[in-house]
Amino acid sequence: MQFIKYIALIVVTVMVMMSCGEDTIDLQGLGVVEGRVVQSGTNEPLENVKIATNPASSTVFTDQDGFYSIVNIPAGEYSLSAQKDGLLAEFEAISVIADTSIEVVFELELETASNRPPNAAILISPEDNAQETPTTVELVWSGSDPDTDDNLTYSVRIQNDFNSEILEFENINDTTLTVANLMFGVKYFWQVTTSDGINDPVNSTVASFTTQNPPNNRIVFTRLIEGNSVIFSADEQGETVLQLTSSGRNSFRPRRNPNTSKIAFLRSIGSQTHLFTMDEDGTNQQQITGQVGVNGFNLEAVDFTWDANGAQLLFPNQDKLYRINNDGSGLELVYQTPDGSLITEIAKNPGSNITVVKTNNLDGYSVRIFTIDTTGAVVNIILEGVQGAAGGIDISIDNTKVLYAYDVSGFENVNYRRLDTRLFIYDLTTNTATDLSTDKPSGTNDLDPRFSPNEASVIYVNTSNDGVSQQNIQILPINDLVARNTLLSNGAMPDWE
């Protein structure tokens, strides 16, 4: 019995030794695979890339620097893979050797690496070198991509041969783009860039078009937009209406000068008001006054005039009348009222020695309309010693007639409200005034009159005397005072040259 126990002990001991020997052999048959994963082309490290073997062993993920390590891999032949969403998977055949570390570096490409770039856009309209293109133009092109599943977006770049302005429009999903407020008579160049969001954007060829010349809009006026006075021009039928100044700026009292093809106007700059000029299409806006601005009791009533065939401008500042060159140089004091009354309006013909002046007190009343010569001496008294408001002066080309508006009701109040303002022509040769508003609707005012270019008619504003209703620009033939005609609705401060 003791012998049998002894034999059993020997057998168990041998089995234990054999078991320990097998574990030692397995440990000696394990290897290590380590390395790094980077993006192809940039060598940027890729984090959270899944690293695995086939046949399966451990699965690991790369760290923030792109490194990985798989340990205790039994020696043998494997396929090592690197995989991450958005990247093309890579596989590498490896031989794991016992007690050895091997290094494998993966360079992964984006899944879109085989994606082809889009085709260059084809410019369709306007045709290349098109002429007389409207200043509001629809640009049309076509786009395509070899990979039909790609979503294409476009950007458009527009330049001109007049100035350095560049118009850019981005993230366009359609193949059309409407561009407004282009300059008149200017050559534009345009190009479309196509992007598929994967490859580098592709540029089209460059095409050009030339906008139409400015229309012969002889009438300028203002409209209120978003609380600002905005200047427009119109033809003599009131049909071709163009916006000339931005609705984001308060610009008013336009005065056109055919000799220079310029429009002078007033603009609010902070708490001040200054003279500006611009081309007839609204471009090339330049501030003229600076040291001395335009000022008066009510800026909506203040007016100025061109002088010296457009080379100079006359403007009021309180009780003083100034002259300035149309480039902003040569500021000089021309006249100052002897009694301190405020100069609100002036009118003068090119090259004339006679200037019409309208003065008033701080409230806009105690009106006096008169003419002065180059020395400042008073030549004619047209209106004085009356109650009520007056204004809107103009003078005929032969310096014999003065046009003005006067509130015959004689009403005066702190709000400068007018109740029955009528138009008059004063003949300087006979010293008589003629009422033009004999057919004016009751309860309305006729305001801001100007002679037509041929002086056969007057253009003016008619509006309710409540002071808040819409203003409309009308034309009245001087020889037919019942033939009132509304030319432009919702308009004010007209000028017709």
Residue 162 has pLDDT above 60, yes or no: yes
CATH 2.120.10.30 residue spans of the chain: 219-496
d(CA 85, CA 4): 66
Residue 231 has pLDDT above 90, yes or no: yes
- Amino acid identity, position 492: A
**Cβ pair 258, 305 in contact under 8 A:** no
| Residues across the chain | 497
Residue 10 has pLDDT above 90, yes or no: no
Q: What is the per-residue pLDDT for 28?
A: 56
Residue 18 has pLDDT above 60, yes or no: no
The CATH fold assigned to 219-496 is Neuraminidase (2.120.10)
Residue 421 has pLDDT above 70, yes or no: yes
115-211 architecture in CATH?
Answer: Sandwich (2.60)
Q: What is the per-residue pLDDT for 216?
A: 85
pLDDT per residue as tens digits for the range 396-416 = 999 999 999 999 999 999 999
3-state SS of 8-74 is HHHHHHHHHHHHHHHHHHHHCCEEEEEEEEEECCCCCECCCCEEEEECCCCCEECCCCCEEEEEEEE
Per cent of the chain over pLDDT 70 is 94
**Cβ pair 338, 296 in contact under 8 A:** no
pLDDT per residue as tens digits for the range 264-309 = 999 999 999 999 999 998 989 999 999 999 999 999 999 999 999 9
In sequence order, the 6+-apart residues with CB closer than 8 A to the CB of 131 are 209, 210
Report the pLDDT averaged over residues 2-21: 43
CATH 2.60.40.10 residue spans of the chain: 27-113, 115-211
**Cβ pair 43, 80 in contact under 8 A:** no
Q: What is the per-residue pLDDT for 113?
A: 67
For the domain with range 27-113, which CATH number is right: 3.30.360.10, 3.60.10.10, 2.60.40.10, 2.60.40.1180? 2.60.40.10
Q: What is the per-residue pLDDT for 394?
A: 97
Report the pLDDT averaged over residues 117-127: 96
**Cβ pair 373, 393 in contact under 8 A:** no
